[in-house]
A and B are shown apart, each in its own frame.
Chain A
Amino acid sequence: AQSVTQPDIHITVSEGASLELRCNYSYGATPYLFWYVQSPGQGLQLLLKYFSGDTLVQGIKGFEAEFKRSQSSFNLRKPSVHWSDAAEYFCAVGATTSGSRLTFGEGTQLTVNP
């Protein structure tokens, strides 16, 4: 069975600082990995996804993520955070062997201080 762990429930950073959100997954084969962002009361917006190839993936809003198979990780990074990045971030793993449903982590709430 696939699973996702986001070790940090809440992270606070200052505007302009760098950001790294951690994600560890468990899956027996090559995973398909996703990062989503959710503002309060809103749906999920896809930031980026990894299927294969280059392990460093670029996404929207200046985000990137790196797939590290040896560490079963897919951490999300941004070099300089903006106040508008404050939101909840979810990592998810999908697999075609499970009907292509996604398994999500519990999320990391990001607060940005001015």
Chain B
Amino acid sequence: DTGVSQDPRHKITKRGQNVTFRCDPISEHNRLYWYRQTLGQGPEFLTYFQNEAQLEKSRLLSDRFSAERPKGSFSTLEIQRTEQGDSAMYLCASGEGNRGGLEGYTFGSGTRLTVV
């Protein structure tokens, strides 16, 4: 296992279109996190899963955003009716182990979304 994989690496979409991103965590990790990073800012937490259960959602996650993690393996993040303000890097991380998974926290390379 080579780490956390995210697909696609880059996505350009027209405003109003729907997009879906995929994250494949490290196989033995039961926690999975999504973050959003806008230009010049640090990543901000969006949501997290423990196995297939979505346990927390940030207020940043509007009703146009939905995340799933069927069967507790890979996760998808969908944005409906994209807006220019959604342009950002979407980062996925997974964790396992002691200290609530923080010891094994690993980020993927991210998906860069550009809404035109």
Question: A residues engaging B (CB < 8 A)?
Answer: 4, 32, 34, 36, 41-44, 46, 49, 51, 90, 92, 94, 96, 99-107
Contact = CB atoms under 8 A, between A and B. Distances in A.
A106 B39 CA distance: 10
A71 B106 CA distance: 28
Contacts, number: 66
Contact of B48 (A4, A41, A99, A103): A99
A4 B102 CA distance: 17
Contacts of A49: 102
B53 to A, nearest CB: 11
Interface residues of B, number: 27
Nearest to B6: A43
A94 B100 CA distance: 10
Interface of B: 31, 33, 35, 40-45, 48, 55-56, 91, 93, 95, 99-103, 105-110, 112
Contacts of B109: 42-43
A100 B101 CA distance: 7
Most-contacted residue by chain B among A41, A43, A99, A100 (CB, 10 A): A43
B43 A51 contact: no
